[in-house]
Amino acid sequence: MSNIVKVWNRHNLDHTEKFKGQVIHIPAGKFIEMDYFEAIAFKGQMVPYIRMKNGLQDPKSYKMIDLDKDDVEKVKAFLAGHRDEEKEKVYVCERCGKEFLTKNGLMKHIKKNHLDDMVEKEARDELIDDEDV
């Protein structure tokens, strides 16, 4: 899955803008493909406000950029799933640094390998008495 989205020019005039040192040109009613995070930054970048002789904004300076909604939803779903995988809870033994996916796995490890290292007598006795571990 890539983070590429379509960036649409919804204006009836071509849109040209300098973005991060590069000139971006999107023809009227057309799109270009861009990385999702770059597209967000591009869409939010301010463009100069140009006035006509009568004081109104020149239609050429309107920025009518839109991101393809289906592409954005796909990227957001991918990123949400990716973040959940990264944030999977891990239990780490403070004595040796070994990692476990469950608390019970960590407790079994401590009971088997580090019981004599425990300083708190009450916690040690509780661990010894726990039959589930």
Q: What is the pTM of this model?
A: 0.58
Contact status, residue 43 vs residue 34, Cβ threshold 8 Å:
no
Q: pLDDT tens digit string along 29-45? A: 999 999 999 999 999 99
The strand order across the sheet containing 65-67 reads 31-35, 4-9, 65-67
Indicate the pLDDT class of residue 89, thresholds 50, 70 and 90. Answer: low
Phi, psi angle pair for 103, to nearest 5°: -65, -40
- Token digits of residue 70: 């289906």
Look at residue 124 and tell me whether its pLDDT is greater than 70. Answer: yes
- Alpha-carbon distance of 11 to 64, in angstroms, equals 6
- Token digits of residue 44: 């939010």
Indicate the pLDDT class of residue 133, thresholds 50, 70 and 90. Answer: confident
Residue 2: per-residue pLDDT: 74
Residue 84: per-residue pLDDT: 52
